[in-house]
Amino acid sequence: MSITPHFLDALDTAPGHWPETPCKSRPELFVDSSRVIPLKEDRDTAKALCALCPVRRACADYAIDNDIRDGIYGGLTVDERNQRAHERVTAACAE
């Protein structure tokens, strides 16, 4: 059973309007409520589709800022988002 990634509603777009995104048409590849870690083939497909997405960066930022612990967001897995969050903290401390 998959869920639709409604996080797009929170992105800076026209109210109630999702931009055309791959996860809109194939949400099961990105967030599967029956699995915390997507299947490898779904993960690879999702990441490839994210590479073409117009809101990839905003999506990744949203997932990092909200500590989303499952699925593929902005082309990043949970571990990759953790790494990016760590890099943000390190960069902020260096300033």
List, for residues 22-66, the tens digit of each pLDDT value. Answer: 887 888 888 766 665 667 788 889 999 999 888 899 889 989 999
C-alpha torsion angle, residues 60, 75, 5, 19 (rounded to 10): 80
- 80 has a pLDDT exceeding 90: yes
Residue 1 domain-assigned (yes or no): no
Helix (H, G, I), strand (E, B) or coil at 61: helix
Beta bridge partners of 76: 73
Helix (H, G, I), strand (E, B) or coil at 76: strand
Q: By C-alpha distance, which of 62, 12, 55 is closest to 71?
A: 62
Residue 18 domain-assigned (yes or no): yes
Print the domain residue range for 29. Answer: 6-94
Q: Total domain count for the chain?
A: 1
Residue 21 domain-assigned (yes or no): yes
At 25, list the tokens.
């048409």
